[in-house]
Amino acid sequence: MAKKQQITQSIPLVAIDLGSHSVRAMAAELTEGGILRVLGIESSSKFDCVKKGIVDNTTDAGYMINEVLKLLSNRIHTESLPSAFICVGGRTMQIVPVYSKRDQIRKREISQQLLDAMEAECKQKIESRNPNVAVLDLVPYFYKLDGKEQDETPTIHQQAALIEAHFIAFVGKKELEQKVNDSFDRSGKLLEHMYIRPDALMTAIASDQDMTNGCIIMDLGAQTTTLTAYKGGQYLYNKVVPMGGYDITRDIEQIGISLAHAEQLKCKYGCATADMVQNNHRFRIPTSKLPQGEVALHATELADIITNRLEQIITPLMNEINQEADRFKILYITGGGSMLQGIGEYVQGKTSIPVMYGSHATWLTPDTPDEMCMPAYSSLVGTLLLGASYRASHPIMKPTSNSLIKILKGKLEEKALTLFTDQEGEQEHNV
């Protein structure tokens, strides 16, 4: 992950999260305090155009990108939103270290063109080795100027003879990059830059201290669950399981109810394990699939279905990280699946690493509605922050202010583990 750096204000910043079941977009402006004022959020779910993190249909994806940006334009009362940053995931991503250097013989001012050329060289090194892969994101690890490691990305005001750049590259199938670009081409919108979801989440959730001491982010998505580990200023690994919350919904559907009713049951009454169920509600769900016209089950039975799938998703990941648990100080859970009641306690029972819910609220102005602080939006907030930094050196519009704003707040306050509970006390519910 890039170390936090000074950035220039541009309005509006727009981020898109291309998820498996919906396309979300968020517009925001960067305040003088280096935090985001959210202008609006919109989503579209007309087509299932993303499968396991890979764009399946570029025509549908392009339509949804265009639609969600139109909705967002109307939401924030602006004529159009011509461009956006995007974050993507995928089961094929890998982390690869890469290095570049420039010896200028004598001390000279560092130019942005030089830094861009070094990044391009690193990207070319990786992609030339395998024509089937693409560098989806290139994250500065550290720079050295004349042999001295720098705390920040070099600026054009610095001078050096020898420049060394160390990056962490997120590498995926070339198909993913091509299809994202094709989707934007079909949408008629400009793709400013593409980021990968683990980097966006790390930016939004983890503090600088977390990243130094060792932290893990578990992203519970609809069709994939991703585990990303970071320590000492360096990404260690990225693991993806091709299962998520949607698979839980499909399991519940198998009792003979509709997918919509299954999703409703999971979100409103689901629990990670049966022993966490506080009220053993009895549900009656209408169905046309069975002669009796309804399905009846208790909350503990619903929890058992959920637990069976969670065991397949989470247990292999936790078994792997527990082999080196002493390297990490905190594990954050995020994503839409983190809203499941008892999931924090469930994950905590699988590891000795302290588990907390990830939060991006520190990056948002105090007047931000609570809805926009939900875990489902963490990747969008992280993408906006990364996009703001990118705009500082790659402007696409005249900034509203030419003043440099404060360094992005990189240190998040410790967050108490908050578990979601269902307070309803009725013993029987109709769904």
Domain boundaries, the chain: 94-174
Q: What is the CA radius of gyration of the chain?
A: 23
pLDDT at 408: 34
Q: Which residue has the higher pLDDT, 367 or 286?
A: 367
Among 62-66, 105-109, 117-121, 388-392, name the one with the lowest average pLDDT.
62-66
Q: Which residue has the higher pLDDT, 405 or 313?
A: 313
The rounded distance, in Å, linking the Cα atoms of 215 and 273 is 25
For residue 245, pLDDT beyond 50: yes
Q: Which residue has the higher pLDDT, 89 or 32?
A: 32
**Residue 422: band (very low, low, confident or very high) from pLDDT cuts 50, 70, 90:** very low
pLDDT at 417: 31
Helix (H) or strand (E) holding 357: strand 355-357
**Residue 51: band (very low, low, confident or very high) from pLDDT cuts 50, 70, 90:** low
pLDDT at 314: 94
Q: Which residue has the higher pLDDT, 222 or 3?
A: 222
pLDDT at 11: 63
Q: What is the phi-psi region of residue 256: left when phi exceeds 0, alpha when psi lies from -120 to 50, beta otherwise?
A: left
pLDDT at 421: 29
Residues 389, 410 contacting (CB under 8 angstroms)? no
Q: Quick one: average pLDDT of 308-317?
A: 94
Helix (H) or strand (E) holding 67: helix 58-75
CA distances from 104 to 50, 118, 180, 267, 378 (A): 46, 13, 37, 59, 41
Q: Quick one: average pLDDT of 17-44?
A: 88
For residue 398, pLDDT beyond 80: no
Q: Which residues, 6 or more positions from 252, have their beta carbon under 8 angstroms from its beta carbon?
A: 262, 265, 266, 270, 302, 305, 306
Most confident of 30-34, 350-354, 387-391, 402-406: 350-354
Query: Which one, of 265, 189, 213, lies nearest residue 431 by Cα?
Result: 265
The rounded distance, in Å, linking the Cα atoms of 322 and 347 is 12
Q: If you search the block for the tokens 């809203």, which residue do you land on?
A: 339
The rounded distance, in Å, linking the Cα atoms of 226 and 217 is 8
Residues 392, 8 contacting (CB under 8 angstroms)? yes
For residue 414, pLDDT beyond 60: no
Q: Which residue has the higher pLDDT, 47 or 364?
A: 364
Q: Which residue has the higher pLDDT, 50 or 53?
A: 50
Note the pTM of the prediction, 2 decimals.
Answer: 0.77
Most confident of 229-238, 257-266, 283-292, 400-409: 257-266
pLDDT at 286: 85
Q: Which residues, 6 or more positions from 80, have their beta carbon under 8 angstroms from its beta carbon?
A: 69, 73
Q: Quick one: average pLDDT of 38-55?
A: 71
Residue 219 tokens, joined: 């992203």
pLDDT at 149: 86
Q: What is the mean pLDDT of the chain?
A: 82
CA distances from 130 to 127, 238, 314 (A): 5, 20, 31
Most confident of 15-29, 224-238, 276-290, 335-349: 335-349
Neighbour count for residue 129 (Cβ, 10 Å): 9
Segment 352-362, tens digit of pLDDT: 999 999 999 99
> What single-letter amino acid sits at 298?
H
Q: Which residue has the higher pLDDT, 382 or 190?
A: 382
For residue 191, pLDDT beyond 70: yes
The proportion of the chain whose per-residue pLDDT surpasses 90, expressed as a percent, equals: 40
DSSP single-letter state for residue 404: B
209-235: burial string, b at 16+ Cβ within 10 Å, e else: ebbeebbbbbbbbbbbbbbbbbbeebb
pLDDT at 409: 30
Bridge partners of 87, per DSSP, are 17, 195
pLDDT at 327: 92
pLDDT at 232: 80
Asked: is 94-174 a CATH 3.30.1490.110 domain? The reply is yes
The proportion of the chain whose per-residue pLDDT surpasses 70, expressed as a percent, equals: 84
pLDDT at 91: 64
The rounded distance, in Å, linking the Cα atoms of 208 and 134 is 28
For residue 412, pLDDT beyond 70: no
pLDDT at 162: 92
For residue 285, pLDDT beyond 80: yes
